Amino acid sequence: MVIGIIGAMVEEITPLLAHFGHYKEHHKGGNVYYEIAQGEHRIFIAYSKIGKVHAALSAGAMILSFGCEQIIFSGVAGALSAELKVGDLVLGLKLCQHDVDISAFGHALGFIPESKLYVESSPALNAIAREVANSQAIPLKEGIIASGDCFIANGEKKQWIARQFNAIAVEMEGAAVAVVCDACGIPFCILRSISDNADGSADISFDEFLESSAKRSADFVVQMCAKILQ
């Protein structure tokens, strides 16, 4: 089995590299892919850099260049739902792009022709995430995650995204990974830990809780990998 793990920032993959320890570096497309041997299995880890374009490039490279058979995204997100608080883990059952708008041609917001409004993540990987959560008595929130190339730090915009897409969390990469994996027939899982409330204080909260929330997500993904490869 070959697993790919993507984070958007250095802080999101540092706990993973620290856990696995020894790795080999591959340089491709302006990025570094860290290869970790796990017996007969391999894990590739990369931080894509922020945004949908970079995330799509990293997911494509992992699949097409390194033969990854499953992709897990680990990182942080802003809360759209009032039920979420900093540190909560969120499992994206569906991913959408809140910043896509060709409604002038009669299409729904977020929809691209010959694509999908919502891309569903892997039921099998999501089931493994639930197993890990249950075994550790970790609350795992589930729902729609919206992605877009903007950091949401405005209460009005936050409410619009939540209302328009029925999303519970917002970030900047998950839907891009989802589109690439769906096109390539690769199972994927999007796991996020809440770092802020996507409102006027989001920038302060994000800076304060980035590392702790990123580590919470990464630690969870480590346990998922152990179950996948056992």
- Using CA atoms of 15, 20, 25, 30 in order, give the dihedral in degrees to the nearest 10: -30
**Pair of tokens at residue 26:** 């591959």
H or E element that contains 59: helix 52-64
Q: Which of 88, 171, 196, 199 is catalytic?
A: 196
Is 37 in a helix, a strand, or coil?
Answer: strand
Is 99 assigned a catalytic role? Answer: no
Q: Which two tokens stand for residue 186?
A: 């690769």
- Cα 165 from Cα 219, distance rounded (Å): 29
Q: Give how far Cα 195 sits from Cα of 20, 59, 106, 119, 211, Å.
A: 24, 23, 35, 24, 9
Give me the catalytic one of 11, 12, 88, 171: 12
101 an active-site residue?
Answer: no
What amino acid positions are annotated as catalytic residues?
A: 12, 196
